[in-house]
Structures are given as C-alpha cells and as structure tokens.
Structure 1
Amino acid sequence: MAAALTVEQQIQQLDDARKLVLSDANYYPQIIQGILPIIGPAARVELRRWGAEFLAETFAAPKVAAQQKETLALMVLETLRAMVENPLEDTAVVKSVVQAAASIYPLVFRWIVNNSYDGPTWERMIAIKTRILRIWDSASAGVRICCIKFAQRVVLVQTVGPDADPRRGDPMEVSLSMVPQSHPILTPGNLGAEAQGLLDRMLGVFQESTSDAILIDATLNTLSILIRARPQVANRILNVILNFNPLKQANSPMTPKLRVMVKSMEKTTRLLLMNVNKRDPQNPLAGRIQQYVQRMMQSRSEIFDEASRKRGPPEPTDGLDAAKRQKLGAQVSAPTPRFHVPPLQPGAHTIAELFTVTTDEGLKAFDVSQLTADLVVKISVTILQKIDADTLNQAVDGVKLRYKSLEAAPPASINPATAPLGVEDDDDDYEPDFFAAEDTEQILNKLDNAPPETEEPIIRAPDVGLKHFTLPPAPPLTAEQAAQIGQGTITRVFGVMQTLDEPAKKIKSGMNRLAASAYDRDAWITIITRLATRASAGLEEPATPVKVESNDPGSRSLSNTIRESLYLYVLEDFRKRIDVAVAWLCEEWYNDKVQMKLGEEAVLHYEKWVLKVLDGIVPYLDARDKVLTRFLSEIPGLSLDVLSRVKGLCRDPAMVNLALTSLLYLVMMRPPVRDIALDAVEDIWNTYEDAKPIAAKYLTKWRPGFAERLKAKNDEDKKENGTGVAVAA
C-alpha cells in the first residue's frame, strides 16, 4: 500500500504525523519507529530531507522530556550514521543530521556513563562525530555552521563543569566530571584533550588571514555559551577574541558586500564582549574589554562615517543666503508678514463668526465640538507655544476692530411683515387699568345670582399604567460554565489580595475571629481560606463515613479550585507567605476535626494539602532557611508522611543540619509528637552516613538507652571486625 503512494502523498502523511506529535509528545516513540524505515539511505531525497529535519526538530524540542530523548537517541543513531557517512548525501540532509547529532551527543554520553556495557552505541556515536569533524572544513557554509555547533556541544560535554546544585541546576547537565576514573569505555584524560583540541580549532577562525563573516559570527554565537557555562576556559576564549580585529578587512577596497560583512563581525564581537561585562562586571578582563569596545566603536565611526565627516559646511554663494542661514547660524530677522483679518459683513453675527479669523472654508465648516476637551487643550497649548507673537497680536487687533464695528452699528428695525402678532407702535404707552378688589359680600351675591350648573358626564382618562412584567428566566448554567465563572471570581479576589500591602498591625487572631474586620491582607486571607474550607462543609457526599480527598481532576469543585489557587499563591513567594499557608492549613485541620466530631460523612483535606505544600517548598529550600522549622512547628498536625519528607532532605549532605534542627525543635517544643520525631531522627541515623554524628548527639540526649545501645553496637562491630581479621589471617 505504501509503495503505491507518490512522494507527495507520503510527505503529506508524514506532515500529519508531525502535527500529531506536536500536539501530544507521547506519540514520539511510535512515530519515530514508524518513519525510520521510510527515511533510510535508500529512500528518495525528499523523504530523507523530511526525516532528517524531523529528527533534528525532535531532539531540539523542549516539549520532549530528557529521559524520553535519551531513549529515542539510541533508536536513531544507526540511521543518522548511514546518512552522514554517505559521500553523495544531499546538503540539506547533512545539515539536519549534524544538528540532530549536536542535540544527541550529550544524551548518548550520559547513557554511556551510566551504562558502561553498551559499547556498540558509543561506537556509532564516535563514527558520527568523526565524520562530522572530517567534513567541517570542506563542506558548504551552512553545513560548516552546524559543525561549529556540534563542536561546541562536544566541548561542553568533554570539559569539567561547575558543581551543579540538583535543586536549582539543570538535572540533565552533562560534563566530564560525571565520568569516573575507572570507566571501561570513557577515559577522562583523552576526552578532555580532545575537547581542548576542538576548542583550538574553533578559535582558529579568528587567526586566519582571510576570515569569513558567516563562520566568525557563528563561532562567536557558540562561544558565548562556553564562556558562561565553562569558566575555566572563559579567559582563554576572551584573550583570543580581544586579539581579533573585525575591522582589518576595511583597509581593502570597500564593496557593498564587504561593508556588510565587516559591520556584522564588528557588531557581533562588540555585543558578545558587552554581554560578558554585563553578566560579570568584576571579571579580571573587564577593564581590557571596556577599552576594546570603546576602541572598536571609535574605529568603526572613523571608517564608515568618513565620507560624511569630510564634507565641511557649504560656503554661502551670495552673502547671507536665506537657504543657508540655518546652517551658518546667521541671525537675520525678516519682517513678520501682515496678518489680515477680514471685517464682518453688515447684519447679525454669532460669537463664532466674531472670533473666526481664517478665510479657509474647510476650516470654518469643521465642528470643534467633536473633539474632546483634553485634545483641545493639547492643541491649544502646542499652537500657543509655536505661534509668532506679532501674528497673534495682529489677530487680536483684528477681532477688536470687529467688535467695535458691531457696537457702532445701528439697531436693526422690526420688519412689519414678520413682526409678531399683537405688537403695535404704541406698546410703550400702554398702561393697565387697576380696579379695587371685591369684598366678601359682593362675591357671595354673585354666587347667589349665578345660573345653576348642569352636570356633565365625567370622562375618565384611560388606564395607561404599566402592567406586571416579568423577565424570562435565565437558562441554567452547566457545570463547566459554573466552574469557569467561579474561577474568574477567585482570580479577581486573589488579584485584590496581591495589591494590598503587608498589614502593619495584625488583626485579632483565633478560630472565631471576624473574617472581614478590616480591608487588609489578613482579612482577605481569612475570607478565602474559609470559603475553601467551610463553604462546602457537609455538602460533599463520599461513599464512606470518612474519606480522604480524591485527586481525580474530573471531580473539581469550587472549594478545590480555591485551594489550588491558594497553593499557587503560597509557592510564588513561600518565604514571605508561609503565614498564609499556616493559616490555611489550620482552617483545613479545624474543618476536618469538626466534621469528624459531628459524626457526619466528611472528606478530609488537611493531610493531602499539607503534603502538597511541603513537596512544593522542599526543592527550593536553602541550608540556612528557617522557614521549614517554622512551618513544621505551626501546622496543627504532623504525620509520618510529613516527617518522611523531612528525612528525605538528608539525601543532600548540605541539608542534613536543617532537617535535624527542624526535628530537634519538634522534640523540644511539641511533646505530643516527640516520639515520632525521635523515631525519624533514629531512622536518619541508620540510613545516612553523613548525618550520624549530629543524629547521635540528639538521640543520646533525648532518647534514654540510646547511648548504651550505641556502645554495645560499637563493641559488637569491633568484635566482628577482629574475627574477620583472624579468619582472613
């Protein structure tokens, strides 16, 4: 079926497979196993190009886990070897293969360090490396750039790196310090010598008489990583760069291509050195680097700005020519042209017409009221700053003349044809007649002599009042919509809390304190923690009387969403927000105890979240941190699982003192958990060799009989060792 497909159809199917793995990285093993037979050396060049590019993209993708990449690298090594060793292979295929090999080399190196029996895998990697280093100088420019990247990766792997902190550094950091001296395949001395030779080969591009700007820029970009990750070779690299002059080719005839090349090399070199000084201002070569950068910028300015600098100011041809005055700075004042304000025509005028001094009909028709007040103020201020004072005075004088002409004009007469009704010429002579007011007796006589009134039917106004109106009921919310709305509310609440300053005065503490007694950070924390712990109390329906909260993501409630947000809020800055974590976990513990005491079916949350918070902060603890001791001493309940996390810190020798000090604090200050804390200390004494002296000191003081048992054990060990020596003799 596959043979009947055309190349275009096969590539279309391969593109669909690529889209699949980009959406879900778990499909990479199946897809790579399926495409390896299709993209082999006997396949069409189009398929080989696609396959090599896909492999390079796979091992460079950060979405794929390092352990998964290590497994996939063992699968593709033979295919990459067959492609790169083909002398007639397509250039695009070779480029992608070298890129994939650069990403794979640290993975294979790490695999061989941990699995010394796998000699064939290392032989395949050595064959690929040898072929790449052989074609480095003879291949095209694109392939050579990829070879430089491969060489840089080999130097990184085969040189000794700084001591990596597993809690902060890259867990997949690979360096020569990982290789034991007795490794059957890898020899640290030979690998280190090879790395130094490759570094010399990379730096040789700066010492060649004819330099290629593309290779120099590529080398500089790779050296920046070596300077940062391998301090022991940084000074050596910087000394070579400081002896390199990217502007040396500017002495030859300057063609457009050469101009671009020289500018590119100079800029890349300058930015690299400036970045080195920025990252480490106290490095020994900082002063020399600063001088080099300043000298380079001055030389660049002299070379590329020479033409414009040689042109002097143009000489005036006719004295103070108006076109030259700005360049020569001649202070020649010209008379301000007369600004003409046309007079108003006879008749009635508006205030806008009085103050309109322009003759442009388009400007007159523009409605200024459409602009906002702020924009009008900005325009007015800008105009007043730039307008000439004489022009402004002439405009003001023109408006004054208009106003005086309107004052001197006679009043307009009333047109008889358009005069309002009832207006006559002798209105000013009209005087109303005044009559004496009628007294009470006269008013009563008039009412007696008045004719009887006839009853008329009462006409009621129609009832136009609004009838009862009811809005239609809103459609019911789905579970997803309700969860989404609740999440938005929680996000806004946490946004408000993060904007509040740290409280200067603590509010009244205790389980019965008011939750909203003040608009501060503590009040919001109390509200949020009680929404998470008490709002849904009794509403959950477990299958058993007491049930620990499930981790099923499908059963998320509003309370669990708030808990998750609280957890993330604490981990953002756990050293400053450890009080939030303690307050929250106290509420969880209190709620669990109340529900269990009432005999109701309840879901327990405290144990899950205290372990989750502890797992979140432990990887980032420092040996001098006191936050762990405070956290363990203030949370209301301690279990064996919590203490097992503390015991796990002793795997790092630097954290032994912190773990044992925290447990000693529990022994001294929390008598109810003294026994399990001492059991944890004794377990540490039995498990970790580095912790024995400190743990024995604590156990001798706080656990009666431990000193006798320890002495008896030492005597027994001495006796066994003596017996062993006698038997061996």
Structure 2
Amino acid sequence: MDHDQQVIQLRDFDQQILSQPEDALSFATKSFLETLIDLINYGLEKQDDGTDAYKEELKNVKNATKAFAIVLPTVYKTICQNEAETRLWSLCQSLMTLVETKLLENGNAGIQINAIKCLQVLVLLLSKSSLKDISLNLTRADHGLLNIQQLEKKGQDLFEKIIGMLKSDNESVITATVSCLTVIGKKRHQFIKQISSSFTSWRKTRSKEDSPVMLRNVDKALKLGFVSLIRTEGLSAYRSEMITAFGSIGGNVAMFQSRQRGGDESRRSKRTHQETDRAHAEKKVKTEYVPIIPSSTSPNILANYDITQIPLNSIVNLCMTVLQTVPLEVMSERVSLLPAEGVTLAVTRKEFVRSTTPPYPPPPEQPQYNTNQLFKTEDAIDSDEEMENTLMKAPKILPLMQPYELNEQKELNSVEKKKLLEMTIKRILYAEQSIQKITNNEMHVLHHTKNRWLLLVAKLVTRGLFIENESMDKQELKNLLLDFVVEDLLNRHDLALEWLYEEYLFDRQQLELNPEYSPGYFYWFHKLLEKGIPTLDVKDKILTKILLEAPEVNEETIEFIKNNLKNVPERFVSCVSTLRSLVINRPTIRFIALQVLLDLCINENDQIRQTSIMAVKKWNDNQTQVNSRVEQFAISSLKQLTDKEILTWEEKDVVKHAQLYFVLCTRRPSLLKELFSVYIEATEIVQKYIRLHMIKMIKAIGMKSTDLNKLIREFPPGGETLVIRILVILCDSKPPTKEIVSAVQAISVLAEERSIDLKNLSPILSGHSLQSNK
C-alpha cells in the first residue's frame, strides 16, 4: 500500500470510528497498525519547510497517534484472548516505542500532546484495576506472549514518563499532562499519591524566568485536577490527604468542608427515604391483589374474517409446521374430540359476512386458474348447495398422520465415514464464502467473525479434535486444508498464518511433554511454500507477508526463495525484495538471506547483478553488522582479481568482481585504499579494466572528498598510473579545487623519484581543467 492509500485509510478511520470508538474492532488489524507505523515514520522524516505539504504530514502523524490510542484497547484484548497474535503484538510494541521516544520527545507541541494521551491509554491498560475494564486484569498468568510482571513495570515506567512531561516549557503540554494524570488517578488508585505529590511540587521545580501567565494557567489546571479527584466517589479513602494537598497550592479548602457536611446529611436523608419507600412497596405488594377478569362481551376479532382469502402457501406452511411440531399422541387425542359430522366451513355459517378486502393475488408459482371442482373461485360457485354437493362427491382423503417406523440404522464402513468427514470439513472451510457476503456496514462484525472462524479451523486441523484413526488421520485433514488455502492464497493467507501458528504452538507443547516428539511445523510450512508460491502473481507481496509473520523460518525456507528467483525470472525482483525484508526483520536467518543477495551481486547477468547491488548497498545506521558483512564481501570479491592462477581476465569478469565495491566506495570513500592494494598486485590487463570502469565511481565521489584527497597525496608505490587516472577523471572538464592543486603539488616533488609523468597534468597546477588546454 503506497503513502496516498495509507492516508485514505486513516481518513476512513476518522470518519467511521472517531464518533463511535466502540466500532474500532474493524480497524484492530495488523495491516492498519502497519499503516500507522508507516505514516508516523514518514511524517517524522519530513523537514519543516513551512509548506502546506509539511503541515499535512504533521497532521497525519497526530491523527495516526490518535488512531492508535483508540484501537489500542481492542488490539490488547485480542492479544489477551489469542496467544497466536505474535505479529499483532510486535506491531503494537513498535508503535509503543515510537510514541514514548520519537513522538514524546518531538519539538511539536501537538505531537507531544497526542503522545501523552496515547501513553495515558497504555498506562490504564498495563496496570491492574479494581474496576471491570480492559486492563492488566485480562492477562492470564501463563499467557505465551504477555508477561504480567513486565507489563506492569512497563506501565509504571510510562506513568513516570507522563509525570516527567510536567517539566515541559510549553503551557499546552503541561495542562494536557495534568488532564491525563487526573484521568489515570480516577481509574488507577495506586497512582494517587504520586500524582498528588507531583501536583503540589510542580511550582518548586519551575524557573523564575517562566511566564507569570503560564504559571497562573497551570496553577488553575492543577487546582481543577485536584477538585475532580476529590469529588470522585471511589477515592474517598484519599480525600483528606488530597484536600490538604489542594490547600497547599492555594486552593479553597472550605468549599469541601461545607460540601462534605451537607453531603453527609443529604445522603442520610436520601437513604431514609429509600428505606421508607421500599417498605411501603413491599407492604403494597403483599396486601393488594388485582384480579384479571376476562371480558365476555369482547368481540371475536376473527368473526368476520374471510379465511378463504389467506394465500395458499401460507396455509400449507402453517399446516406443515403444526404437523411437524405436535406429537402424534396429541394429534390423535384432538382428532378423536371432533364431532362425527365433521367440520363446517366458515363460509357456511349464518353470521358470516363477506370481507370487503380484495382477495390476495395468487403467488407467482401458482396458476391463475384452476379447473378442479374443489378449487372453484367464488364467482364459479352458484350457491352453497352446489358447493356442498361438490364436497360430497370429492374422493375420500386418507389421514395425513399414519403410524411409521424409522428405518433400521445402518453401520457405516470406513470409506463412508471418511467421505462424510471430508464433506463436513469442506463445509467448514467453505463457510468463508458466507462470511465474505457481510456488507460494508458490518465490517466490524466481519472482522470479528472471520477471526473466530480462522482460529476455529486452525485449531480443528492442528489438533484433529474429532478425527478417528480408522477413518481419517491428521495428515489427510491437513492436506485438505492445504489444498483449500493454496486454491486462493491471496485471500486465504490469514488462514494459512493462523494454521502455522497453531502448528508451531502445538509442537512446543508436545516437546515439553515428550522430548522425542517429531515437530511437523516446518514440514507443513514448506509444503505451503512449495504449492502456494507458483499460484501467486509475480507482483504480489503475500509471500513476503507470510515469511515475515510466520512463527519461525529456517535455512530451507530461504532455499525456496533462492530456487524461485532462479527458476522463474519474472519473480526475481519480488524475491530480492523479500530477501531484503527478511534480512531486516528476521534475525535468526538474517545472514543466510543476506548471503543469497551477496552471491547475486557477482552474477554473470548484468540486470540481476545491478538489481541485487541496489538491494544491499544501503542499510540503516542500526544495521552495522549487515553493512560490515556487505563491505567485507565486496573487498573479498575485489581481491579475487589478484589471483595469479587466472592468466587472462576478461573485461566482464573484472566488472563482475568490482562493481559492488565501486558502488560502496561512492557511499564510503575511505574504502578506496583497498583499491590501491589490489591494483598494485593485479596484472596489467586487470589494471587497464579497473582504470576504464572506475570513471563513474570517481565522479560520484568528487574533488571535495577528504579521503580521496588524502589518498592522492599518500598513494603507495606502484599506484602511480591509478593516481594519474583519478586526477584526469576529476579535472577533465572541471577546474580543480584548492585541495586537488595542493595534492598535485605534493606529487610533483616525488615525480622524478617515482617516475611520475605529470606533463599532461600541468593545467591542474595553474587551476584549469584539462580540456581547457586542448
């Protein structure tokens, strides 16, 4: 998802959820948390240039922080209920780190305020409560992801960070901090003493240079905070201490003393009235009785209703419902109570009055006309006598309810059992189609239902809850699931991940019980890759998502990617991107994935080699080990050019071994000293190709490089032709800098001693480019 799509997703969240935070479940997903991380990082990387574009990105950062605070309780609850949500918890931790570091320490007051409010939510979640809300109380002691002690300590640390924001020099930040601490104090009573102490000591920590207006406004906010806490019913045990603290910062203590006396009297009076009313009500219940007398004069609402106008299908449905629900014994008993002459039709009664309501039209599946005498229309019946005659001539109808017996139960054989189980499992799997039909207005229901369904299927398949050994084993069951997932891996990768997590957790549990247990996780993971990768479009990122979110990956997993990029050329770019993501995000196989990329950097194919070099040339500052590995590989590859056993080096081979090194030198010119070492030991033909193909690198480094100037001055013996070539490339079309002129002057002193021909470089000494002398 690109940046614009992420911004649109955030706006959709604002429109749908801000007014109804209880519907946040539909956004409590891994993809939405990834969006929030990307938007925050993207906005923080922008420089303040005063443009509207920068202000818009700043707004996105604030809204993303606010969105995280809203979905956080739902995400936390999901993780508490499902230990398999490893990726969701990892993303949640990444956002928590962003908030408490980069956002809380940001220079923008608006970003800081949103960060403080987010930390407030975190403190409430990661601390125990006596209330029935979403908090640390939800977490089980044996939870696989969440450690109660560590979370509680984290909550305490974040609480202290919020208190630390009272030292800010920005009035808005301080008042926001006071407001958040007040909310925390109301819901988490264990923090009351720290909050009260921080409020009363705030003035003592301020400088004399603080604005009087700011001091006055913050004092007012502190007093209002104390008032709110003192009036909180649940904090009555701390009321006297807080009133004293309130008075120490200049608050009017008398308002609480008079209020407390009046409040006590009011509560006593109210309690007395409630007890009196309750006693009166109980007495009234015991003594009063209002009998319900049915009215004999109430009219029969069905008296004038023409039952012949009821649609036929409604009557049939009613009859079938009665027949299916009423026991046979009851039906027989009621039939025996009917009069011998039968049932007189309602239309033959004297009191019958025809309804003026037009008759219902026949249902669409019924014919408009019926020639059967029993079903003549009203117009076709001449008289009541004719109708009675028709009924008398009708054939005798046998009773509907006949005694019957169930067929003798047949024992199913193993083949039939297996077939029935397969049908049952497939129905469960394809229930996904029913979930997908839920409308957009019920997205939160869809997400919740789908998660439940995924977890149910994953547990069922992994543990084989009802599978009997003689009919279907777990292996066959998992093959059914595997085929179902591979059928549409693009839309069913979430199910695949749920299944993999269940396999992984099940293996761990079994190994604890039996050390000789043979785990099956990697077998099914590799089967999924083997069957699933060929079904994906070459541009799909689902493979990367599965590999990043899977519980564990190993060296064989990397082999699947390696073989895929070799055997399917059109997947090469996506596979390289996947390998790079694994290097960054999966420490256990980081260097295995990196080695595959590095090997591609010396590939015979120019396009493959250049694409791979682009993937490995740049890493973040915190990935120093990766950078070091890449540089060591590049230098090692370059040193192969000194191999004396190879008598004739072709130009393409020199380029293949030197290209990665040249690219790295443009980023870190100090690596150039290795080039001189190799150049001196190499054959003349290799030296020639080095001088020919280093033009782009030297121009990219440029004359202003301190490392390059130092090498020109102090190059080792044997590198004379290399130095002259470097100078020619630098000064061919541009006049030299003072540093280059000085370096050439230093070389001139050694010209005779080291047999350096500087005739062609004379324009440099006079400050001109070499072309100006032609």
Note whether the superposition's TM-score is higher than 0.5: no
Give the structure with higher Rg (CA).
1
Q: Give the TM-score, by structure 2 length.
A: 0.32
Q: Counting helix residues as a fraction of each chain, which structure ranks higher?
A: 2
Q: TM-score, normalised by structure 1?
A: 0.33
